[in-house]
Structure 1
Amino acid sequence: MRADARKNYDHILAVSRDLLAAEGSQTSMREIARTAGVGLGTLQRHFPTREDLLEALLRTSFDALAERASKLGQSEPSDAALVAWLREIVDVAHRYSGAIKSMVAAIEDESSALHASCTAMKAAGTRLLATAQADGKARTDVDGADLFALVGALAWVADQPALASRSDRLMALMSDTLFVGSPES
């Protein structure tokens, strides 16, 4: 990529990150281009669809969370690692208000630009869950799909102004249900 194109790409991502976090994932591509100070054509050359833009924004966060899952799995008790990771992924999903809908759809749609990122994220959580289950700390009747659905539900709650204040309580209730005994958090 040419230096000027790379500069535009990085600038568009930075502006998009702030704009989508403030206004939600349904912000128009035209508004993103206007705020970034580029033409709609320039934006669409880099990111032909909103999903392509979301994928670029989320991929970095998801890669970091997948790496974080590995580090937590090595340094924390399995239940504490899972709770910490769940809190972090819910925070990332909530940061881009409304993005959870795209994330959930991408798991099932192999042609989605978000598919690889979302399946890697789901796999990281599933590994943490499996470790907690093997240690006898997590229920064995829960799988990665259940865990990802819980993340989606908690992110959705955090996106609802009338319910957002309950998200910590709901995380605690989920932990009480997910774990055998009380998790370390």
Structure 2
Amino acid sequence: MRRLLWVAGVAVALVAVTGCTDSSAPRDASSRQPAPSSSPPASSEQPDDGQEPVAEPPELDDSEHLAGRQPETKGNASFSYAKGAAGDALIVAVRCQGAGTMKVAVKTVNVSFPLECLAGETTTTYNQVGVSGVEKPGTVSVTAPSGVHWSMTIGRGEPPAEDQQ
């Protein structure tokens, strides 16, 4: 199974970030390795046949550090995440199910992006943001239809090689 990875491919309010990979592109194995788990990794854009349940927030890779986690939630919610080290990228990993579009906003860095969630399918999306201020603690706000169930993990990790100078 594969995970969907959007490397800083987010719709951004007032901040420019780098490009994204599409859902059919394989993950770059050199920059992200799946975290060991007792269950198989989630896939995205595929029917719910053995995928991680929405109740389980997405896992981070071994090289990434947890900053915050929101268990399964229905509809709108906000939660905080911890400060990170200077130079680390911010990782926003979202798992959702249910028909509708949810909007994720990371206010500290003025980043927001929509996610299309599907009825009967669990979708997992990873966004990696490497803009000024991502090391600060912050809050993530989600606006979602009441029928959309979601969970989220906020992490810190090395920026992708193409972003390092």
TM-score, structure 1 as length reference:
0.25
Higher relative contact order (CA 8 A, sep 6+): 2
TM-score, structure 2 as length reference:
0.27
Q: Which structure has more strand as a fraction of its residues?
A: 2
Q: Which structure has more helix as a fraction of its residues?
A: 1
Greater Rg by CA? 1
